[in-house]
């Protein structure tokens, strides 16, 4: 079992124990916890970023505005808020693949990506992705970037939060925005994974 899987299982067990304790002590109810989960699954998070990406894939004018000023372009879609100030979108191309990290802490564009995953905050990830990005992608995420593609690692900060505009998959030229949204993953917007495979 990989360290990443073990860590996820350990975190899940801790979360479950904490949830049980809060309910038993009357601090929270099951309904309140379910509502918090629903908010982060449906009202904030990577599904909003996926909507932005899908629109950029279909609308060249919006894509240009997104690359010029991601914060303002996202506001056009009603997406803004805490940790969403000063966002910068990095476009993946045939020759460049972008990855984001925050080497100092865990600065992250919450409005479009939701809460940062635990591995994003892990000091080992933060150090390794900057030194050996291809190796980390391959070994931790089972994601290989072709050798001919340049890999760029961008260090987010409280003043500038980066995220990735992944490449639109071939064969989706006639797809609707709703269809495209389903292809965009959180990891593809961090740069550590691909978009979902086209069926």
- From 2, 74, 95, 107, the catalytic residue: 107
Q: Which of 2, 20, 95, 105 is catalytic?
A: 105
Residue tagged active-site, from 20, 80, 95, 106: 106
Within 8 A by CB and 6+ apart from 67, the residues are 89, 91, 165
Give yes or no: 74 in active site: no
Task: Supply angle C-alpha 95, 98, 101, rounded to 5.
Answer: 165
102 is catalytic: yes
Nearest-5° angle of CA 136, CA 141, CA 146?
A: 70
Catalytic one of 74, 102, 156, 188: 102
Q: Give me the phi and psi of 94, to 5 degrees please.
A: -65, -25
Q: Do 160 and 86 contact (CB within 8 A), yes or no?
A: yes
- Give catalytic status of residue 106 as yes or no: yes
Annotated ligand binding at 74? The verdict is no
Buried b (16+ CB within 10 A) or exposed e, 180-189: bbebbbbbbb
**107 belongs to an annotated ligand binding site:** yes
Residue numbers in the known binding site are: 102, 105-107
Residue numbers in the known binding site for Fe(3+) are: 102, 105-107
Active site residues per annotation: 102, 105-107
């Amino acid at each position: 079992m990989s360290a990443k899987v073990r860590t996820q299982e350990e975190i899940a067990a801790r979360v479950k124990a904490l949830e049980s304790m809060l309910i038993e002590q009357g601090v929270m109810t099951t309904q309140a916890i379910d509502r918090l989960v629903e908010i982060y699954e449906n009202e904030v998070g990577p599904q909003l970023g996926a909507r932005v990406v899908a629109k950029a894939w279909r609308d060249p004018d919006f894509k240009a505005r997104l690359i010029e000023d991601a914060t303002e372009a996202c506001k056009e879609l009603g997406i803004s808020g805490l940790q969403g100030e000063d966002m910068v979108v990095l476009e993946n191309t045939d020759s460049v693949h972008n990855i984001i990290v925050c080497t100092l802490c865990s600065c992250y564009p919450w409005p479009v990506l939701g809460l940062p995953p635990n591995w994003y905050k892990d000091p080992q990830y933060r150090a390794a992705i900057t030194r050996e990005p291809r190796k980390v992608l391959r070994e931790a995420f089972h994601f290989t970037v072709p050798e001919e593609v340049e890999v760029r690692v961008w260090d987010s900060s409280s003043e500038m939060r980066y995220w990735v505009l992944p490449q639109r998959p071939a064969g989706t030229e006639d797809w609707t925005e709703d269809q495209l949204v389903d292809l965009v993953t959180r990891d593809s917007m961090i740069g550590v994974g691909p978009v979902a495979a086209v069926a």
